[in-house]
Homo-oligomer: A and B are copies of this chain.
Amino acid sequence: MSLPQNHRKLRHDELLQQRRSLEGIHAETRHPVSLLLYNIRSLYNVGSLFRTGDAGFITKLYLCGYTPYPPRKEIEKTALGAVDTVPWEYSPDAKLLIPRLRAEGLNVMALEMTTESRSVYSLKRKDYPLCLVLGNEITGVDDDVLELCSGAVDIPMYGVKHSLNVGVAGGIALFEAVRAWKMLES
């Protein structure tokens, strides 16, 4: 392998040229992937998921149950401005919201290891528009919420432990859903 000459990070002005403008984004077609945060406890996980949702250009972020929602300074600190760039809605009762989203045509799937789950790496065109439900940091997605979903996807766990931080798991699943969508579209 040859070492690139003058290999350097992109400067801030070069990054700015590549990115979408705040003014333009609300008119653009977003990826057909949404996230539903159900009883997430940590303000930092919520902020991180806003930031990841912006990077993935998702359709919407739903905040449910006792999941904290903006304005909260700890969320904004971690979201680094993404609370203004990701469409979001607070909806206290996931048991009302999920049937509503499914009636609107969304495929609502839990990100959870369940008796029915399949790999997140198996997404097909019919799985979109997709809404992934992320559950509480310790207890995951409750079974009574799981029953309202159309199914579940999981991230293959290859190690000794069997979990990921919810912000990391959300990022892996979201970017895989976007990758698969773009591949199916091309």
Contacts and interface: CB of A to CB of B under 8 A. Distances in A.
A143 B107 contact: no
A: contact size bracket: 35 or more
B167 A9 contact: no
A179 B81 CA distance: 31
Contact of A159 (B85, B121, B155, B175): B85
A157 B86 CA distance: 14
Copies in the complex: 2
A159 B80 CA distance: 12
Given A113-B15, A151-B1, A54 B161 contact: yes
Most buried by B among A7, A115, A116, A172: A7
A138 B141 CA distance: 33
B146 A55 contact: no
A165 B52 CA distance: 8
A43 B2 CA distance: 34
Contacts of A60: none
A14 to B, nearest CB: 8
Interface of A: 1, 3-4, 6-10, 15, 18-22, 25, 31, 48, 51-57, 78, 80-82, 85-86, 107, 112-116, 121, 140-141, 143, 146-152, 155, 157-165, 167-169, 171-172, 175-176, 178-179
18 contacts: A1-B151, A3-B147, A4-B116, A7-B116, A7-B149, A8-B114, A9-B112, A15-B113, A18-B157, A18-B162, A19-B160, A20-B159, A31-B158, A51-B163, A55-B164, A81-B161, A167-B168, A176-B176
